[in-house]
Amino acid sequence: AAARFPGLDQAATLTEITVVGDGGQVYRGAAAWVVCLWALREYRPLALRLSTPAGARLARAAVLRAAKWRESRRQDEGWGAGVYRRADGWEYLPDRGWVHRDAGPDCGGGCEVA
């Protein structure tokens, strides 16, 4: 990231979320969390509600609370080591990242491979 975005304060990005948009826009803090929500289609209505000044404060408070909870879970239960599956076929594999499960054809006993 330092080579690609030399103008960013690299030390600050380690302590506060920083998002760089397609057009080079830089979002930090609560605004960055709203941008992350906007990037996820199913959370866009929530992102719109949180894009107001009052909503941004709520977004920041919620994220800090979630981070605190996540940190406590990580110590207790090995958080982050498992597979996360979504109903739309996407799953997160800790060793590979996000992948899409494609059911493939139903060959009923065998598929011919060319």
Q: What is the pLDDT of residues 12-34, one digit of tens each?
A: 887 778 899 888 899 988 888 89
The domain spans of the chain are 10-98
**Total residue count of the chain as it appears in this document:** 114
Q: How far apart are CA 74 and CA 59, in angstroms?
A: 22
Phi-psi sector, 88: left (phi>0), alpha (psi -120 to 50), beta: alpha
- Secondary structure (3-state) at 87: coil
7-13 mean pLDDT = 84
pLDDT tens column, 36-72: 889 999 999 999 999 988 888 888 888 788 778 777 7
- CA–CA separation, 57 and 27 (whole Å): 15
Q: Whose structure tokens read 């979630």?
A: 66
pTM: 0.53
Rounded to whole angstroms, the Cα distance separating 30 from 52 reads 11
